[in-house]
A and B are shown apart, each in its own frame.
Chain A
Amino acid sequence: MNYTSPTTVEEAAAALASTPGARVFAGATDVVPQMRSGRIAPEVLVDLKGIEELTSVSVDDEKWTIGAAVATARLTEDPTFSAEFPGLCEAAGLIGSDQIQNRSSLGGNLCNASPAADSVPAMVANHARAVVAGPGGRRVVDVADIPTGPGSTSLGAGEFVVAIEVDRKPASTGEAYLRITPRTEMDIAIVGAGARVTLDENGVCTAATVSLGAVAPTVVRVPDAEAALVGSTLDDEALAACAAAASAMCSPIDDMRGTVEYRTQVAGVLARRAVVAAAERARG
């Protein structure tokens, strides 16, 4: 059992390639509990926090590039980023306590591939992309395409996420994330909903994304909800259609955190509320 802390993406890739039982980690907030419960038993742990690219945030006219291992606390306390993406920050800020926030990362939250991961619906609502590095070089894929089911991803052998890219937010656009948990903090979403809407000068919705967490094996987008919103003024009728579409999109499970009925019903409520919150932000 070895710990290694590479300083370049290439070294990390080599470390991953050299041992089949190697595993990358950033904050270890999921890795340690999984090791402790015996669910995973990595032979080598590759700490990504020594790689500058993975721990830095940059922005240009087109996009934000967020290192996959950047602690969510560093991201959410960035005044520029949080002003532009308050919804994404809300979501990232819900991943556990302050103690966790100083370790957890967007990359880790994504690659742990929990359907209930809080930051993922918000990233999906914002059309975020993942920059993936691996033996075959780099590729860029939609964040939504990384998780393929609970605990599994589309990452190939030796691949890992280097950064999350989010395009600069267009004008008159707002986004939001809401979730339901029994406790106010330190909890896993029973249902989560992300939304982003763009409004024109008449208040008509010109673009919308609605995403749901914890209601299917992966985070899902809700095209019918988005269709119901676009072209509307987000009036009650459109919002009701959005809620109904969100509920209809659910294929959840019964588990110790919630029932199929509950998740299905509340997904609609949360989707509607997330859209309302996003619209308020879009209106400024």
Chain B
Amino acid sequence: MTVRVHLASALRGFSSGEADVELDPGDGATVQRLIRMLDERFPGIGEPLRQASSVAIDGEIIADAQYESVPDGAEVHFLDMHQGG
């Protein structure tokens, strides 16, 4: 199983500039598991990722998405969303 995580510019300090990271989180993967795996690879990146207000999984933006499941082949973006007016 492969998931592609896109890291925003501000986070690339942790990843030595790497913008797109491929992960194999295994079956039943959740956003939480992706964050844990990323934090193992790029120590310190977990905290800002956990603080991101929203996650886009295959284009759908979801708030409070820590436990959201992530399908095989998914493209994942961590976003800081403004709730709007």
Q: In the complex, A touching B, CB below 8 Å?
A: no
Residues of B within 8 A of A (CB): none
